[in-house]
Amino acid sequence: MRNFIQQTFASLVGSLLGLIIFCGIGTTGLFLLLFAAATSKDTGPLVKDKSVVVFDLSMNITDGEPSSGEFLQKALSGVEDNRMSLRSILNTLEKARRDPRIVGIYLDATRTGTANPAGYASLKEIRQSLEKFRAAGKRIVAYGKDWEERDYYLSSVADTIVLNPLGLMEVNGLSSQPMFLTGALQKYGIGVQIVRVGKFKGAIEPLILTKLSPENREQTQRLLNDVWGEWRTTVGVSRKLNSQKLQAIADNQALLEAREAKASGLVDRVAYVDEVVTDLKKLTASDKKDKTFRQIDLSEYAQVPGKSLGVERKSKNQIAVVYAEGEIVDGKGDSGEVGGDRFAKIFNKLRQDDDVKAVILRVNSPGGSATAAEVMQREVQLTRDVKPVVVSMGDVAASGGYWIASDSNRIFAEPNTITGSIGVFGVLFNGQKLANDNGITWDSVKTGRYADTQTVSRPKSPQELALYQRSVNRIYSIFLNKVAQGRKLPEAKVAEIAQGRVWSGTAAKQIGLVDEIGGLSTAIEYAAKQAKLGNDWQVREYPQVSSFEERFFGRATEEARKALGIESAQIEPSNPLTAEFQKLQQEIAILQKMNDPQGVYARLPFNFKIE
């Protein structure tokens, strides 16, 4: 019996060792394959003379670069990740402007309607770079089949805009259609109690109302009017159309057929894509026998070294750009979230780094945990005492997103940035009716009156609600005080413009919440001047992503997948019904991220979107 046990144990150990060795060899082989694929590439893509850069407008535009985890997941899943960061796009367009080999840009708007989270503030900055490109004497051609306002906002900068003969152009204005969950919560017996400060704090309305409150409707209407007014002005200047005519088109036509779009001056030509390709062949001096014009994709051209063109900088003096993009949550947070503790550590490190001469806090966040925002804001304040801290607001920098921005040296925003929303709320759920309807009950034994206050088994009593309201009032008072001190405004003035109200960047500048209208590039230039760096500086981005990881897991994995004959999967655009289900999933996801230890939040209305 003893021998049997010994032999069995020895066999088991041997099998385990063999498995470990086999897996080790297999893993090593895979890594060697990937490494060989990565190192087999040239230093950069080949750019031929008279080339056109192709810019796919369905590209997913984000603020920061993807994390290594996201990069690996996308690479191994086979899903095509057509994504670039805003700063990478801006640098690439500037490089193309200076590059004598590049003669034009082709804006491909044939895949409109795909998921592109970029808002109008990001598009504004890209549009300005395209205008500089065109001002350099180079051509921009845009082609689409079904244009919506968002893609046309960029495309309208082109020298020539071409629409497919069967194509349509949507110019019907902007709208926001929030989803209300109140009826569903009531139907399934989920109780909701709210404590809040600020009559405009619409974040909680989807949980307690079935439609917009008058105050929320008022602020949403003004915000949409500001963004739509900027759209009409900007597009109108490029197309030589006054804003009144564009408003008349929106009110009377809304959806234009190709010939109507041309007659209205919105497009220059009605043609098929092969006719556009023929024209681009002439522009690039391509051979008639060539299948297409001489071109290079924007993301591929981004890999072309730009040192000789004066785009890339190399210096010991660093300007750190910290991307606070996503929901603000307590703790470290996951990818796509702004974890208060994690970002506080980043600022702590930058403050003590002598090579970092200035810091840009790029905010693209609707807010979230008030506790996490305060943890970050303290580190921003301490860093500001040592070196310049400049805020660049992206598409949205509101509520908790504004909290972390308020104590900086200077705040930049685009005209169509969504900001403000200085207000606080708490959401208290209970499942008493849901449970009781299914035969579940609770009982309680306690040693203090409020010992079971955190329970979800019942609604909160009036006395308990008073405790929560006191906490919310205290944090709101702290919020007002921080804004008043950081912005050097009387607290009475801040109280007047707060109340949870959201503002456009233009309106925020008028009331003192924003210092200047401008994008990320403008903020970086300002920081360099404040730090007295002249032209001797370079940008470093945080949270950092290893370039080796990008190359190893990105390019190498793609090469390995090609070698194995594995095709990339494509993400198809969703239909309208699917989009509504996705919106519901996003609402639920936000509730799951609400992890403030005090249950108090400074956040925009859930999934506020302009459509």
Q: Quick one: tokens of 203?
A: 């974040």
Q: Which of 45-59, 77-91, 166-180 has the lowest mean pLDDT?
A: 77-91
Work out the burial of residue 129: count CB atoms within 10 Å of its CB; fewer than 13 is exposed, 13-18 middle, 19 or more buried.
buried
Q: Is the pLDDT of residue 89 over 50?
A: yes
Most confident residue range from 22-26, 121-125, 564-568: 121-125
488 is catalytic: no
Mean per-residue pLDDT, 172-197? 92
Give the other-Cβ count within 10 Å of 54's Cβ.
20
Residue 409 lies in a domain: no
Of 380, 347, 374, 334, give the one whose Cα is nearest residue 601. Answer: 374
Q: Quick one: tokens of 507?
A: 């309106």
Residue 388 lies in a domain: no
CATH number for the domain including 68? 3.90.226.10
**What DSSP line would sit under 146-163, residue for residue?**
EE-HHHHHHHTTSSEEEE
Reported as a single tens digit per residue, the pLDDT across 546-595 is 544 444 444 444 444 444 444 444 444 445 545 555 666 666 666 667 77
The continuous run of DSSP H or E covering 390 comes out as: strand 389-398
**What DSSP line would sit under 537-603, residue for residue?**
-EEEEES---HHHHIIIIIHHHHHHHHTTPPPB--PPPPHHHHHHHHHHHHHHHHHT---TTS-EEE
User: pTM above the 0.85 mark?
Assistant: no
Residue 124 lies in a domain: yes
- What integer pLDDT is reported at residue 19 of this predicted model? 47
Measure the CA–CA gap between 37 and 31, rounded to whole angstroms: 10
pLDDT-based confidence at residue 201 (cuts at 50, 70, 90)? confident
pLDDT-based confidence at residue 112 (cuts at 50, 70, 90)? low
Reported as a single tens digit per residue, the pLDDT across 292-301 is 999 999 999 9
Residue 72 lies in a domain: yes
Q: Is the pLDDT of residue 600 over 80?
A: no
- What integer pLDDT is reported at residue 115 of this predicted model? 53
Number of H helices, E strands in the chain: 23, 23
Total number of domains constituting the chain: 1
Choice among 68, 399, 406, 421 that is catalytic: 399
Residue 441 lies in a domain: no
Choice among 201, 262, 482, 509 that is catalytic: 201
Domain that holds residue 300: 51-173+235-307
Residue 458 lies in a domain: no
Going along 207-315, which residue ranges are E strands?
Answer: 254-257, 269-270, 295-297
365 is catalytic: no
Residue 466 lies in a domain: no
In terms of phi and psi (left: phi > 0; alpha: psi -120 to 50; beta: otherwise), the region of 64 is beta
Measure the CA–CA gap between 167 and 205, rounded to whole angstroms: 39
- What integer pLDDT is reported at residue 564 of this predicted model? 41
Reported as a single tens digit per residue, the pLDDT across 406-443 is 999 999 999 999 999 999 988 899 999 999 999 999 89
Residue 87 lies in a domain: yes
Task: Supply the DSSP symbol for 202.
Answer: G
